[in-house]
Amino acid sequence: MRKIGWGVGAAAVVVAGACALAVAGQDGPRPRPGECAAVAGTGDEPRYRPADCGSEQANVRIAKVLEEGEGCPKGGARYSTYAGPFTLCLIPNFVEGACYRGDRQVGMRRVDCAGAHAVRVAKVGTGEVSCGSDRAVAYPEPSVTFCLARGPAAR
């Protein structure tokens, strides 16, 4: 289960890097907490676009827009961050029952649960959530916990 946490963390770093480069030059309205985005591409040619949170392409959710001198909330899983005209704390946009796999192009990509290395989101809850034997990945702001399962339990 420790590898699940590392996979989510590594994918978050990929997504954060892509967001930093892609959104840095964008003009337009300031992002708001709760909004989602689709991030794809590489560090050299990232593509960032706002996306409906229900869309399969929406792989990140904005947890917090930071003011100067602020940092992402502490006390839970590590946030992906992005710095450009504004600084964002990002969390995965995981959907309960869906499966994901780390991808260098998009961070965590939704995949078939029968696929190799698939991680299934067994439960999504607010506040403190009991995940039983599944891996808990919790964020304090917004208060959300993802229960992640792997292997035969992931199907």
Is the pLDDT higher at 9 or at 92? 92
28: pLDDT strictly greater than 80:
no
Residue 56 — pLDDT band, cuts 50, 70, 90? confident
Percentage of residues of the chain with pLDDT beyond 70:
70
Average pLDDT across the chain, whole number: 79
Select, from the ranges 28-42, 103-117, 119-133, the one with the highest average predicted confidence (pLDDT): 119-133
pLDDT score of 105: 76
Pairing type for strands 80-83 and 87-92 reads antiparallel
Residue carrying the six token digits 């989101």: 121
Q: What is the pTM of this model?
A: 0.76
pLDDT score of 120: 96
Q: How many whole angstroms separate alpha carbon 91 and alpha carbon 89?
A: 7
Which amino acid is present at 69? G
Is the pLDDT higher at 22 or at 81? 81
Which amino acid is present at 114? A
143-151: which pairs have CB atoms within 8 A and are 24 or more residues apart? 144/91, 146/92, 146/94, 146/121, 147/121, 147/122, 147/123, 148/1, 148/4, 148/8, 148/119, 148/120, 148/121, 148/122, 149/119, 149/120, 149/122, 150/1, 150/3, 150/4, 150/118, 150/119, 150/120
Q: How many whole angstroms separate alpha carbon 60 and alpha carbon 100?
A: 13
Which amino acid is present at 124? V
